[in-house]
Amino acid sequence: MASVFSDILDQLLRDLPEALGAVFIDWEGESVDHSAGDLGATNIKLVGAHWGLTYNLMRRACEQLELGTPTNMVLRFAERRVVIGRVVEGYYLVIATPSDCPLWRTLRALRQTGQRLLQEL
């Protein structure tokens, strides 16, 4: 049975058809829910876990340096991009796309989907 979170993530993939997958994670990098897309369930969960932990390390470093709390982290690779955004303290949304997907579209989807997820927490 699909959860409200998976329904929201499925809508993200419909709104951003270039997306390879999306995962809603907690502060430990554990998947709350996901929409696998072309990456597959295991891979999108691994992307969320690994890069979610990296985001938390960056967040702590930024706070120690008194830079404030980052809202997003964008990682660009030769063929992929991973965008991570804070939904609320302790919960993050991770979206994987091809590297040529317009970043503004991914950031818009991140913001809109994050707002929908927040309403359901």
pTM here is: 0.92
Query: Does residue 64 contact residue 55 with C-beta atoms inside 8 Å?
Result: no
SS3 for 1? coil
pLDDT above 80: residue 24: yes
Please choose, from the candidates 19, 9, 12, the residue with its C-alpha nearest in 3D space to the C-alpha of residue 102.
Answer: 19
Q: Residue ranges of the domains in the chain? A: 4-120
pLDDT digits (tens, 9 = 90+) for 27-52: 888 999 999 988 889 999 999 999 88
Domain 4-120 has CATH 3.30.450.30: yes
pLDDT digits (tens, 9 = 90+) for 49-82: 998 888 888 989 999 999 998 889 999 999 999 9
SS3 for 32? strand
